[in-house]
Chains A and B, each alone.
Chain A
Amino acid sequence: MFDRIYIEEAVRDLPMTRKLIERFPKAEQIACERYGEVFNPKRQNFRAQKRNPALILAEKKGNRVLPTPPDYGLGADHHFYFSHMLNCLYDCRYCFLQGMYQSANYLLFVNFDDFIEDIRSEIDAHPGERCFFFSGYDCDSLAMDSVTGFVDRFLPLFSDLPTASLELRTKSVNTASLLKREPIENVVTAFSLNPEPVAEALEHKAPSVDARLAAINKLASAGWKIGLRFDPLIYFKDAVDVYQDFIDRVFNTVPMDAVHSVTLGAFRSPKTIFKKMESLYPEEPLFMGNLQLQGGMISYAGAIEDELIGTISDRILGFVNRDRFFPCQ
């Protein structure tokens, strides 16, 4: 899976590091003082690295749990995100990660205990208030779970903390670590979904839509709460019709009582990140047309976005109540 593992000095002797080194005995081990030496230098080509990414094992010092931007909430009193890993197994062409980081190597912060302590501190700092933690902002929460053991380490924390919720954001069908345990009421597995034409053209290396829907149903049947994330919506010829059919299909497949929340957002990106993505994939039609720059953000031209969001919101609201629907405006 990896032919190189970069190991930061500070984590060389941690049990998780040793375990991962044992797991990939053929990988060359390369020592570094700080992960930034490998991950951050400017003269890197994300697209080239994505062909053969290495694993970087490092310590996350500080800023481990952060508040989300104001528009990214699910109705709790406080929303936070944390990233135990940067970069993703998949290669979705619309993903901001490819414009965010210099390197496509997988950066895994192995000091899980520090993350857990910081999550606990935030909960303690807001007694009696509902706190929601998002885990899949800079990586897919489940795609590399068999390597990272993330679920086994973090879920027990939430089963003991009824005022806190955790979202596992994913496109993965790697749900074994969830299915082997009893469902936890305040843990939501949120699947990113797009109709087949979009998934096949833009969600490279990700499981098929059918496989994702099957995984959703397995989890729902086992009693797990499900999030449905229609974000980003992609504009193309006949997009509205295709998305409406897709919404019908999803809601006719997924048991409604398992649905915790539904979010919706059209493709958008900060200009600087968009420009980098565009320069990495200059031949990609997604970045070429029907877009506008407004307030530092690139998004679809107003009429296109309004039509996409409007019609698809209406369709979704035919299946779920407004209290479970969170469109990102």
Chain B
Amino acid sequence: MKIKHLLALLLLGLSVKLYAQKTHINGLIKENTTGLPLPGATVQVKGTPITSVSDKNGLFRMYAEPGQTLEIKFLGFVTQDIIAPGDEALFEIYMKEDTRILSEIVVTGALGIQRAAKEIGGGTQVVSNEYLNQGKTINPLTGLASKVAGLRINMYDSKVDPQIQIVIRGTRSLNRSENAPIYVVDGVPVPDISRLNPNDIESITVLKGANAAALYGSEGVNGALMITTKTGSRGTERIQFSNTTTFSKAFLLPKAQKEFGQGQNGIYDPIQSESWGPRFDGSLRDFGRLLPDGTQPQLLYAAPSEDNRLGIFQTGVNIQNDLSFSGGDESSTYFVSIQDVSIKGILPGDESQRTGARFNGSKKFGKLKTSYNINYIRFKKDMAPDGPWLAAYTSPANIDYSSLKDWLDPNSIANPNLYFTDQVKNPFFLLDNNRQSNKQQTLNGKIELEYEITPWFSALYRLGMYSSFDESQNRSGKFEAAGRRNVVGSVTDINDNFQRLNGDFILNFNKQIGRFSTSLILGQNFRSDNRKTVTVGASNLLLPDLFNPASRIGELSSGSGSSLTEYRSLAVYGEFTTGYNDYLFLTLTGRKDWVSVLAPSNRSYFYPGVSTSFVFNDAIPALKDSRVLTFGKIFASWNKTGNVTLQPYSLNNAYSQSNGFPFGNTVGFSPGSAYPNPSIQPEFVTSFEIGTQLSLFDNRLHFEGSYVYSDSEGQIFNATTSRATGYSTAIVNAGRLTNNIIELSINADVLHTKDQKLNLGLNYSHIKNQVKELYEGTSYNIFRQSYANVGQAYPSLMVSDYKRDPEGRIVINPSTGYPVLADAETHLGSMVPPFQLGFSSFYQYKSVSIGAQFDSRWGGWLYSEIIPRQYTAGTHPNTVAYDRQPFIYPNSSIELEDGRFVENRDVFSPGDKAFWDFEGKVQSNTAVQSDFFKLRELNLTFNLPPSLLSGQKIIKTASLSLIGTNLFIIRHKDNDHGDPEYLYNSTDGYVSFRQVPPYRTYGFNINVGF
């Protein structure tokens, strides 16, 4: 949606009323959740010395001009601004608790039930809207990165719809794609939140342990992100508009040599794409073949001063426009928001757009409380599939990409028919000709009915629906030419519809018995997921620009068909909490699940949990009212969670047709490559946690520390098997993984005066992950160089390496000069950095503030599949280390017949392409340590002071921010491969040429409140 549309809406929704006379204001201040009067709150007419204080009934009376701003303050509550009304009628104000004060923090616990933090016997952390949106990220998950101890967030790549991997407290499953937490939006579990408008989020409570999320059952095994969206406040009507515009620039491309150019064997060749030619000499040389008009394109054969590869990329532009309205009255509240996000990617032609609207409301009918929300998101994207930038990694350094853009020109070297080589294609042609487009509509909502049967007993029914309608088209334009220049036009249309229904019926009992508080929750849950995917494709299109399978030549492509997937589950659960004197709490949980994906004899399973917390500063008289220790809690928990990560229909081997089948009436079905196991059982994760939360010096310093142990057994995963078994993988119930975790976080209000604030925060986690057992043997391959090895962290990087003599010298084969390879692969280390540190700083001076978020991870390794390709193509820097001449391999030796090793002094290694190609295949040359330290977010905000806004009545608040992400990064000295955070195919520490290279963004945000 464009800005002008938003403005139109804005005008529709507004009417300006003007008042001039001073009147008496009669106000009643109430507490938001209980509705009880709040005595002792101060009310001040902003910008004036006029103040008043609410009496014991919460009432106040004062003089003010209608339209003036009244500021209401009360310790422990969020300060509120309201507009003075135009008459003397009683005016109600609802004050909200300030959750920043730890002892009173309310967290959103399982099932969306608000719980006092002090009761909770597990690690939780709340990230507020402001902190989440510091970098104005488009995907709310990105905004969480490095802000929560034990939470790890990785980007996949830099496309216009980047995927995110999120893992809380280490890997629990050997199944790579089953380590994500459950996402719960306003109490309803949803499969995805990446398209949620981050500005709609009031807060995200991260429930780190399976214990906190126990009532969500299996899906809660990896922790939960409890997202609370904004609601309106009674008595305050607000309109907010904000615009964020940022620019993205590609950086951190894999390093390449700039000394030798195109050719083979040291000889220049104008049609070669590889860099095995002579040394750059500054001459002008033929580039490609003669053009039809008889001209011979030429290129300066010299090392460019800049990285020419960046010429493929452009400056991306990200624009977000947000508009929200909120308000409420005695019995109802509402929150409406509209957001439009448009992204122009760093690859020319790539773009996406997301338009979303949310309506949250609540209404009370006597004892029945209802709340409901609906969220509609329309997302579309159009982008290039993997490939265009790969050509640049393997092409000569002197290619000037700016001259290759106009590929339609029939007389240009950019034309695919005339491109200088036919081993790779013009990246700009690939960008234009191969497209993936997608339109997605997500409709997501819930309705919740809560009836208070007696003051201590209520019943709640919550029904959530999540549905997405996805239409995708992958296309490749027909281009008639010979050989590799030819493109047979193809198109695939995919319709994917997904619906989830999730219902919970919950009985909630609360009773105070003497000094004991008790609460009991009994619940029942059903879940039903339905998916239908229809794919229709054609691999030989009639016309270059008509992308419809109907206008094809020959038959539909082999993938055409449809697929239905159904998943269902039922559960019953209960939770019992008792508290003694409001300082000692004990919680017991239990849940039994039934799932559709297992054989009927295995499909139900039960799992229990227990947790306790002790608020010792309340319990120990000497600590009560201490000025040093304002809050102190220790907690511990134990629980076991069952989990089934199996996809539907995995108990049998399904057959499909390939290799051209069916040929007319001749069918040919062949089995899948995964060995099925019909007797798969649920897997179980047992975890134990102990920790403390302290608040010191009037809540100026917070500390939280915990130790967590988790043990996952009998895992369900697709283990890679020897291909001699006939299968490439086997579904097994095997393997045991443990995690030993230490998490620390410190947050300090270093400065807190009227004009200045300085807040520093630090979170640290060390996750010691270890594979304890595997199904068979001591090692399982997971994906390419990624392994699970008994006794090592998962996933482990194993690479082929040189044979080394006892002194560590590389052994050279004296007859060829090539290094000898070691018999077995070498283990380098964990592909996930076990150490993680997040550091935040926020400084405010009057109306100017600066916030910075730093992220550091270390102790891991990464593998890049780009590097071997660069070796082969001669673009890797190592290939020029010896001027492409024969050389004596440094620190090498020769093995004598008697088994002794002597220093290699005279066997030369050939410095030619075959040799370096071999070197590129030695995988230890392709791995580096993945340590990094980066400035993830920087935000500089200027709030317009009230004095500047006092001349008018329309704008109440306004601010301007400058923001940037990934502004700098320090990597391990050996790492010239890319951003260590990026991952591929759910495999940590694996860098692929399929990823669009990393980018950084910088821009501004304007925020106006009406």
Does B associate with A? no
